[in-house]
A and B are shown apart, each in its own frame.
Chain A
Amino acid sequence: MDYGIELKEQEAVVALRGRLTFNDHAKLRALIREMLQNPVKRQVLELGSLEFVDSAGIGMLLIAREEMGNADKKLVLRGAQGQVKRVLTVAQLGKIVTIED
């Protein structure tokens, strides 16, 4: 998985690309720390270019949400497609995290 962060006035947009699996633990640690450090409250994970997510990837998204909540920030998942969209649905992530199309 690769990511790029674009800081806007109202939100930070983090574009995830490729595959998000248990092997991406180090990248997710770095990403969550970057999201905590930037000054914006609304942190949007743009998932349109993410091709595959596994159960550990879902777990790491939940950790990101929790850490944002603890820092009075808000995590939004946006634009999931295909396999990623189906896994978010099956794992019922919408009950816990804000998901936008």
Chain B
Amino acid sequence: MSTGATALHGPGLTPDRMRIVAAACGVPRWAPRTGSPAPSASVVVLFSGSDDPNAASPALWMPPSTAWIDVTGLSDEVLGRTVRLAETHDLYLSLTTRLANELHLAGRIVAAIDARRPLSEHRRDDLELALHEAVSNALVHGNLQVEGMKGVSMAALDRFSSDLAVRLADPVFSRRRIEVVLDFEHGAVVVEVGDEGRGFQLDGRGGHGASGRGLGLISTIAESYELLDGGRRIRMRFAL
């Protein structure tokens, strides 16, 4: 949990925007290049959008960074609220679909977990797969509203491929947000992944055709999982 000693870091944002955001959420700015020492507790990293080159920098995903927020489309007030929410969790992400898709998000989340609770290589692979499946479901089926590959055929793959490209190019869909919340417990980490799609219902047909295996894979890796908010959010608990 947060100790309150949080700072904002937004290398891709203008100094003016950073000043306004810092005032809106009551959190000081941190600019490493000015020589100020790293704040002891946590740094909330702000990205200016999917074209912010800083987002791909591995160093920004390591401690003391604990939260990563893409400011695209967020008013200063909403951004302030999001930063304060991030402070109440061990790790927190709120990114647009476009940025999350470009970042190989699951691998970065696993690296952030591993930096705090070192994992075996095997466990790291498994966690990456489970988180990747949850993130992919949120991005592809949730936010982009692209249906899975229904049949086992080129036609199904062609349709999936074309729908995905069309939706990623449409800002109405690709600016929808994915939220990831992580909290460490004794011997475990609880991860929630939420999207802004239409939700979904388990229909018991998973694992047929070329799609529908994601939740099955998650269930083999997570200690438990549950679907919340009409299927817009999955909460998974992993033993560490």
Q: Are B217 and A55 in contact (CB under 8 A)?
A: yes
Please, how many angstroms separate the alpha-carbon atoms of A52 and B119 in the complex? 17
Given contact pairs A23-B101, A25-B161, A66-B153, A83 touches B125 in the complex (Cβ within 8 A) = yes
Please, how many angstroms separate the alpha-carbon atoms of A60 and B209 in the complex? 10
Please, how many angstroms separate the alpha-carbon atoms of A21 and B125 in the complex? 14
Q: Are B133 and A63 in contact (CB under 8 A)?
A: no
Please, how many angstroms separate the alpha-carbon atoms of A63 and B150 in the complex? 11
Of A4-12, A42-50, A86-94, the stretch lying at the interface with chain B is: A86-94
Please, how many angstroms separate the alpha-carbon atoms of A62 and B156 in the complex? 12
* B169 lies within 8 A of chain A by Cβ: no
* A76 lies within 8 A of chain B by Cβ: no
A36-87 interface with B by 8 A CB criterion: 52, 54-56, 58-60, 62-63, 66-67, 82-83, 86-87
- Neighbouring B residues of A62 by C-beta, 8 Å: 152, 210
- Neighbouring A residues of B128 by C-beta, 8 Å: 52, 83
**Closest partner residue, chain B, to A19 (CB atom):** B104
* A28 lies within 8 A of chain B by Cβ: yes
Please, how many angstroms separate the alpha-carbon atoms of A54 and B212 in the complex? 11
* B25 lies within 8 A of chain A by Cβ: no
Please, how many angstroms separate the alpha-carbon atoms of A52 and B217 in the complex? 14
**Closest partner residue, chain B, to A25 (CB atom):** B161
- Neighbouring B residues of A86 by C-beta, 8 Å: 125-126
Chain B, interface residues (CB within 8 Å), range: 20 to 34
* A3 lies within 8 A of chain B by Cβ: no
Given contact pairs A22-B136, A54-B132, A60 touches B157 in the complex (Cβ within 8 A) = yes
Residue-wise interface mask of B (112-143) relative to A, using a CB-CB cutoff of 8 A (1 in contact, 0 not): 00000000000001101100110010001000
* A99 lies within 8 A of chain B by Cβ: no
Given contact pairs A25-B161, A67-B154, A91 touches B213 in the complex (Cβ within 8 A) = yes
Given contact pairs A21-B136, A25-B164, A63 touches B157 in the complex (Cβ within 8 A) = yes
Min CB gap A82→B, angstroms = 7
Cross-interface CB contact of A54 among B129, B152, B154, B165, cutoff 8 Å = B129
Q: Are A82 and B125 in contact (CB under 8 A)?
A: yes
Please, how many angstroms separate the alpha-carbon atoms of A12 and B62 in the complex? 43
- Neighbouring B residues of A22 by C-beta, 8 Å: 136, 140, 164
* B149 lies within 8 A of chain A by Cβ: yes
Q: What residues of chain A have their CB less than 8 Å away from a CB belonging to chain B?
A: 19, 21-23, 25-26, 28-29, 32, 52, 54-56, 58-60, 62-63, 66-67, 82-83, 86-87, 90-91
Which 5 pairs of residues, A with B, have the shortest CB-CB distance? A59-B210, A25-B161, A55-B213, A83-B125, A55-B214
5 additional contacts, CB 8 Å, given A25-B161, A29-B157, A67-B154? A21-B132, A28-B157, A59-B209, A60-B210, A83-B125
15 pairs, A vs B, C-beta closer than 8 Å: A25-B157, A26-B161, A29-B161, A32-B157, A54-B132, A54-B133, A55-B213, A56-B136, A56-B210, A59-B209, A60-B210, A62-B210, A63-B156, A66-B152, A66-B153
